[in-house]
Amino acid sequence: MTDSTAPTLTVGDIVAERTVHLTRESLVRYAGASGDFNPIHYRDDVAAEVGLPGVLAHGMLTMGIAVETIMPWLGDAGRIVEYGARFTRPVVVDAQDGADLVIVAKVGALDEDIARIDLTVTFADTAVLGKTQVRVRLGG
Domains of the chain from N-terminus onward: 14-137 (3.10.129.10)
Residues 6+ apart with CB under 8 A from 24: 42, 55, 93, 95, 98
Q: What pLDDT sits at residue 66?
A: 98
pLDDT digits (tens, 9 = 90+) for 5-26: 445 899 999 999 999 999 999 9
Predicted TM-score (pTM) above 0.75:
yes
Q: Torsions phi, psi of 4, nearest 5? A: -65, -10
Per-residue model confidence (pLDDT) at position 7: 56
Is the CB of residue 127 less than 8 Å from the CB of residue 89? Answer: yes
Three-state DSSP state, 73: helix
Q: Is 51 exposed, middle or buried (0-12, 13-18, 19+ CB in 10 A)?
A: exposed
Q: What is the pLDDT of residues 62-115, one digit of tens each?
A: 999 999 999 999 999 999 999 999 999 999 999 999 999 999 999 999 998 999
